[in-house]
A and B are shown apart, each in its own frame.
Chain A
Amino acid sequence: MGNIKQKDLILYSGLIILGLAAPYLFSAFKVQLTYLCVLIVLAMTWNLQGGEMGYNSFGNILFYGLGMYLTASVQVGMFFPLAEWTESGGEKTFVHTTAQYFQGIGVGLLVAAIIPTIVAGAIGYAILGLRGHYFAICTLGLGIAAGEIAGGIEIIGAGQGFTTPPFPAEIVDPEARGQFFYFLSFFVLVVAFVFVKYIYGSRFRLILNAIRDNEDKAEAMGIQTMKYKIVGWMCSAFFCGLAGGIMGGLIGYIDSTDVAFDGREMGVFMVLMAILGGKGTLWGPIIGATLFHFFKEGLWTFILGWQYVALGVLIVVIVVYFPEGLMGWLREKYPERFGEVIDEKDRKAQVELK
Chain B
Amino acid sequence: MARYIANKLFYTLISLFILISATFFLMKAIPGDPFMSEKKVPPAIQERLYEQYGLNKPVYEQYFKYLGDIAQGDFGISMKKINQNVTDIIKDTFGASLKLGLVSIVVSVIVGVALGLLAALYHRKLIDNVAMVLAVLGIAVPSFVVASLLQFVFSSKLHWFPTMGFKGPMYYFLPVAALSAQPIAFIARLTRSSMLEVLHADYIKTAKAKGLRWYAILFRHVIRNGILPVVTYLGPMTANIVTGSVVIEQIFGIGGIGKQFVQAITVRDYPVIMGITIFYGALLMIARLVTDIAYGFVDPRIKLTGGKGD
Q: Please indicate whether A and B come from the same complex rather than being unrelated chains.
A: no
Binding site for A on B (CB under 8 A): none
Binding site for B on A (CB under 8 A): none
